[in-house]
Amino acid sequence: MALHPDIDEYNKKQAATDREVCDLLAREIDRALPEAENKLWHAHPVWFLEGNPVVGYSKLKGSVRLLFWSGQSFDEEGLKSEGSFKAAEARYTTTAEVSRKDLKRWLAKARAIQWDYKNIVRRKGKLVRLP
């Protein structure tokens, strides 16, 4: 699936170094998850598998945050827990900090290990792991 034009616009709005990080992440995510739908969701680029959010990124004050919705289940040292559900993140200030090898592995796990965020409201905040 092609990169959504809104994601390209999001990236273009960033300062030069942040834009490079965003462009790199978008390229690598899209390459690893070609079947995923991608769009701006809550004003940030996010990739979905069968309607379930799996990975995205956002510009924070001092970095670009890469977020995996089910990342706490990946058992990866390079990812830090984020929030009260199963999300985990990595933060970058330059493209040199992005390990493509790690990113490729994490993206494979994003496909294989998913919690059902798509139905979290229907389940009243309870997350269920997808088979």
The predicted-structure confidence for 83-118, as pLDDT tens digits, reads as follows 889 999 999 999 999 999 999 999 999 999 998 888
pLDDT at position 116, please?
86
Q: Does residue 47 form part of some domain?
A: yes
Average pLDDT across the chain, whole number: 95
Q: Does residue 130 form part of some domain?
A: no
Q: Does residue 32 form part of some domain?
A: yes
Q: For residue 3, give Cα distances in angstroms to 10, 16, 70, 118.
A: 12, 20, 22, 21
Domain coverage including residue 94: 5-112
CA distance 47 to 40: 9
pLDDT at position 127, please?
84
CA distance 99 to 117: 27
Q: Is the pLDDT of residue 24 over 80?
A: yes
Give me the number of domains the chain comprises: 1
CATH number (domain holding residue 41): 3.90.1150.200
pLDDT at position 120, please?
83
pLDDT at position 44, please?
97
Q: Does residue 61 form part of some domain?
A: yes
